[in-house]
A = this chain, B = another copy of it.
Amino acid sequence: MLTNAKLVHQPHDHERCISAALSRAKALCAEQNVRLTTTRELVLRLLWQSHQPLGAYQLQDQLAEHINKPVAPPTVYRALEFLLRLGLIHRIPSLNAYIGCPFPNNEHSNLFMICNQCGTAAEVADKAVNKLLQCVSDRSHFTLQSQSLELFGLCPQCSNITEAPGYD
């Protein structure tokens, strides 16, 4: 099982997350011979600011603040489209939000564990999950092409807080 859950759910050196993501992005763009322009890189950086998915209009605001001039929606959506196409980010449909992918160009599950409390989203790539879903598809003669899997609940930290006994 490949996952960034440990990182997401614990204090960690997040600068490493960011720089790793950026160097992966640069490598991938070089490999694919496409351009990681300033805007695209900035949007990617913004998405990697935290492990919480961001909406397009949150990105718009933050982008505008960063470059100190107004930004129109298409600017954001184009950058998102580019990053999605390269697999550098994912869209989380039920949140209408976007998040950096911790392990792009791996075959992976598009499986997210999303905390209803703090909003963090950890990604999991699990062969057993993929295999089982493939199997479910096969049984119905369904030709599986892609998937979007979202688990909602409480991350370890928020679980602890919620479950806390209370001395009353």
Chain A residues near B (Cβ < 8 Å): 1, 3, 5-6, 9, 93-94, 111, 113, 115-116, 122, 124, 126, 128-129, 132-133, 136-137, 139-156, 159, 162
Contact = CB atoms under 8 A, between A and B. Distances in A.
8 contacts: A1-B139, A115-B142, A137-B151, A142-B154, A143-B153, A145-B153, A146-B152, A146-B153
Contacts of A111: 136
Contacts of A154: 142-143, 145
Given A140-B3, A141-B159, A150 B153 contact: no
A150 B151 contact: no
A137 B153 contact: yes
Interface of A (DSSP majority class)? mixed
A150 B152 contact: no
Nearest to A154: B143
A1 B132 CA distance: 12
A140 B93 contact: no
B145 A116 contact: yes
Contacts of A146: 151-153
- Please indicate which of the listed interface residues A5, A122, A162 has the most CB atoms of chain B within 10 Å of its own CB: A5
Nearest to A157: B141
Those 5 A-B pairs whose CB atoms lie nearest each other, nearest first = A93-B94, A5-B140, A145-B153, A93-B93, A141-B156
Contacts of A150: 93, 147-149
A159 B137 CA distance: 12
A95 B41 CA distance: 28
